[in-house]
Amino acid sequence: MPKFTKRFVESIVPDPQKMIKHWDSELKGFGLIVLPSGRRTYCVQYRNAQRVQKMFKIGVHGQVTTEEARVLAKKYLSGVVHGHDPVKVKKESRDLPTLNELARDYVLFHGGKKQPKSLKEDQRLLKTIILPALGTSLVAKISRRDVEALHRDHQKTSYQANRVISVLSKMFTLANTWGWCEDNPAKGVQRYQEEKRKRWLAADELKVLWKVLDEYSNQHTAALFRLLILTGARSGELLPSTWDQFNLEASVWTKPSRLTKQREEEHVPLSPQAIEIVRAMQSQSTSPFLFPGKVEGKPLQEVKTAWNTIRKKSGFLDLRIHDLRHTYASHLVSSGLSLSIIGKLLGHTQASTTQRYAHLADEPLRQATELFGSNLDKIIGKER
């Protein structure tokens, strides 16, 4: 019974009638299985803690070298001495869920709690980035280093890379709750610095956009953008809205919790200008939706094509639909309204979310300090 070497392993002549086994002369329990087909597989044979004899396959010759198989065999046999059972571990691992399965259940059980647009983005990140890299990995075996490596691979698109970490963190939180893993390897991963967009329409730009909306061929779609400007709503809240949400006598739009980002019902006061637009639309509507889609019984799904046409005609190629919400908030701040009131109008539950508009609140402050300066001039008798 010789020591296994590459030359020896490859010199063995298979028995066309049966499987044969050879054992290494140097490392007890290190074996080689030779099939009638000629396939050669390295293995270890051992007795577990219950003294039951088991065999564990290491790998096929050609895929692993003889020396690599020897090193692995020593590792497994050493583990047996310390109470480990490689066959049992392999079986348990085979029954453990992979990230593919976690992603499926994440969408199934958690997807209904998210806005449709947000869920669609999660599914895109899963399909294009997360699952191609980690889909077949066992949930319990994915490490912090694996997650950091994925994050680093996409650092050129920092915003997207950070969203990947957010999705993974939510998924592992669920997996931990279900007992699929002991910790969350995405928790605490340092995000890349993101520059917050501060695009909003100044008065002269708003005038240009409004003129383009007045001239747009589809006035029903134009009404959507006018209402987004006048209410500061998200497009995902307004597109699926129904007439029963609007109390025009009380000038209130009640957004159901299923449509709001915070999953809480919101009561939004409507301006006379918004009421006028809604009344005009209602007088011509035969659908339960303010913006009915092409499929009967469904609301309009997206207006990207119309928006691209409108912003090109306006000359504002960098303007997103969501920037209309920023425009609403920014003009209110510049007019002197408090951030707390604006936060309530926007449906913010955290004051820090509205704080992004704080830099615009200096105009009323400037007017106030100029007023004092003028009063002081009068007091001291100084003319300007």
Catalytic residue list: 234, 261, 322, 325, 348, 357
What is the sign, positive or negative, of the torsion defined by CA atoms of 231, 236, 238, 244? negative
Determine which helix (DSSP H) or strand (DSSP E) holds 239, and give its type and residue range: none
Q: Are 99 and 130 in contact (CB under 8 A)?
A: yes
- Residue 107 to residues 40, 43, 174, 187: CA-CA distances in angstroms? 43, 40, 11, 20
Determine which helix (DSSP H) or strand (DSSP E) holds 175, and give its type and residue range: helix 158-177
- Residue 373 to residues 96, 360, 384: CA-CA distances in angstroms? 73, 22, 11
Distance, first Cα to last Cα, the chain = 110
Whole-angstrom Cα distance, residue 23 to residue 117?
61
Tokens of 279: 């009344």
Tokens of 178: 């279900």
Residue 33 phi/psi, 5-degree rounding, is -100, 125
Q: Are 291 and 238 in contact (CB under 8 A)?
A: yes
Give 243-269 as a 3 state SS string. HHHEECCCCEEEECCCCCCCCCCEEEE
Q: Are 19 and 35 in contact (CB under 8 A)?
A: yes
Residue 264 phi/psi, 5-degree rounding, is -130, 140
Tokens of 110: 């958690």
Whole-angstrom Cα distance, residue 170 to residue 174?
6
What is the sign, positive or negative, of the torsion defined by CA atoms of 120, 315, 291, 262? positive
Residue at 84: amino acid letter:
H
Neighbours of 181 (CB within 10 A): 22
